[in-house]
Amino acid sequence: MTGSQSVAGRGAGEGVLVLGVDTCGPSGTVALAKIERPSAEISRSTAWEFGLLAKLLEQVTLEGRTYSATLVSGVEGLLTRYGVKLSEVGAIVVVHGPGSFTGIRVGVSAVKGLAEPGEIPVVAVSRLGVLAAKAGVGLSALDAHRHEVFLRVSAADGSSRQLLAGAEELLKIDPAPARVAVCDAGAAALLGLTWPRAGLVQVDAPTAFDAIRLCVPAILAGEFADLALLDGHYLRRSDAEIFGEAAQSKSERGAGVRVRRMEAGDIDGVMEIAAKTDHAPRWGRAAYEAAIDAGNQPRRVALVAERDGRALAGFVVAAILPGSEAELESIVTAVPHQRRGVAREMFAVLKPELRRQGVREVMLEVREANHSAQGFYRFLGFKEDGRRMGYYVDPVEDAVLMRVSLR
């Protein structure tokens, strides 16, 4: 199935029945819609307006992290309720990323399995493209976690490219865009920090029906994907590839990072880093002064990192508790130095220092919704050890307790 293909003879009456699947986000959707035949020529420039030809029959929400168990049954239930056989579906629209690595893989694989036996044509579409069209702007961004965004950038000739970007990459885009579509707090926070003058166009998260609407021109024109070549649009590697690969050389990660004890002259720089990092503690000067005071109780180990001989790149503070235990109170990397191995190097230096002071286990607490931080801590060897219900405020949220042995 490649190139131009007709959907004539498929669907209900004069319209075309279309199934939509989106499993890229924190929650997924499956939609069934009917596209009416247009009375005018299809123009790519008015694709979203042509989406008005799509009439939603029903859309079902799938809970995140359950797609492998609920996607196919969700499709089956949707078709059954409308008395539609899979062979009567004229086309399937699948959102193939970017987003959740596992979600993309499950969605694309399921759509291939549904489409191949009956040779149902498939259109694949980017979630960033759907978000941009829904907001009516050329640029869009999605939270990619780990202090990064998936970004869609449009060129003057109407083309677009998609990339994974952290703060350092975003700051290199000059001039900053005037308007960017966002649908989640993570993307909005990072863009607000790096592009403070950009207008953020907030819309609801894109759905499977939004994807169907965008793809109406392609469906009616018979422009479908080759299933043999169809794959997820991941933009980055999976956690297994990132965290499971052999240790990278010093020249690739952690290069030029020097970790040393925090001194009084560092406190202004440390507080500046904390103020510009959304997950950092909002300590006052007295708290940092206490952290570097050897006579203070509880005793603390406070370190800072410098990178390439320049300004401070990050800091870490751990409190030594009774019973051979320490609490990792904060580990923060300055935004321009993130994804450069700074936090990993700081923890690598922290561990032997804590061992010298009799510490055998390190514990920490992290917001339940801070999945990127939890992933990093797991990379360092921490494992979940319990929960503190309603521990955090503004918003109220559970704390995930994590622990690692230094033995």
**CA nearest neighbour of 224 among 101, 124, 80, 331:** 124
Residue where one domain finishes, among candidates 236, 271, 290 = 236
Least confident window among 60-64, 249-253, 311-315, 375-379: 249-253
Q: Which residue has the tokens 């966002």?
A: 182
**In the structure, what pLDDT confidence band is assigned to residue 41 with cuts at 50, 70 and 90?**
low
Q: Which CATH number belongs to the domain containing residue 98 in this structure?
A: 3.30.420.40
Range 213-245 burial, b when 16+ CB lie within 10 A, else e: bbbbbbbbeeebbebeebebbbbbeeeeeeeee
Same domain, 45 and 64: yes
**Selected residue with higher pLDDT from 175 and 309:** 175
Single-letter amino acid, residue 241: E
Instruction: Indicate the residue among 236, 258, 289 that finishes a domain.
Output: 236
Pairwise CA distance, residues 177 & 352, whole Å: 46
> Is the domain of 140 the same as that of 167?
yes
**Lowest pLDDT segment from 182-186, 263-267, 277-281, 351-355:** 277-281
Helices (H) and strands (E) in the chain, counts: 13, 19
H or E element: which one contains 165? strand 160-166
Does the structure show a pLDDT above 90 at 175? no
Compute the average pLDDT of residues 63-74. Answer: 91
Q: Which of 77, 109, 69 is nearest to 92 (CA)?
A: 109
Q: How many domains does the chain have?
A: 2
Same domain, 165 and 285: no
Residue 248: what pLDDT? Answer: 44
Q: Are residues 226 and 358 in the same domain?
A: no
Q: How many CB atoms lie within 10 A of CB 73?
A: 12
* 176 and 278 share one domain: no
102: left (phi over 0), alpha (psi -120 to 50) or beta: alpha
Q: Which two tokens stand for residue 48?
A: 């979203």
Please check whether residues 216 and 360 belong to one and the same domain: no
261 and 206 within one domain:
no
- Predicted local confidence at residue 210, as pLDDT: 96
Q: Which residue has the higher pLDDT, 132 or 310?
A: 132
Query: What's the CATH number where 370 sits?
Result: 3.40.630.30
User: Which residues span the domain enclosing 326?
Assistant: 245-405
What are the pLDDT digits (tens) for 206-226?
A: 999 999 999 999 998 899 999
Whole-number Å distance between alpha carbons of 77 and 75: 6
To the question of pTM greater than 0.95 for the whole model, the response is no
Report yes or no: 326 and 320 within 8 Å, Cβ to Cβ.
yes
Residue 167 is predicted with a pLDDT of: 85
Same domain as 168, residue 264:
no
Same domain, 227 and 257: no
Tokens coding 244: 């499971």
pLDDT of residue 250: 40
* Domain edge (last residue) among 183, 213, 236: 236
What is the C-alpha separation between 225 and 81, in angstroms, rounded?
28
Interval 254-285: pLDDT, tens: 557 889 999 999 999 999 999 888 778 889 99
Whether residues 89 and 28 share a domain: the answer is yes
Q: In this predicted structure, what is the pLDDT of residue 241?
A: 43
Task: Give the integer Cα–Cα distance in Å for 234 and 79.
Answer: 29
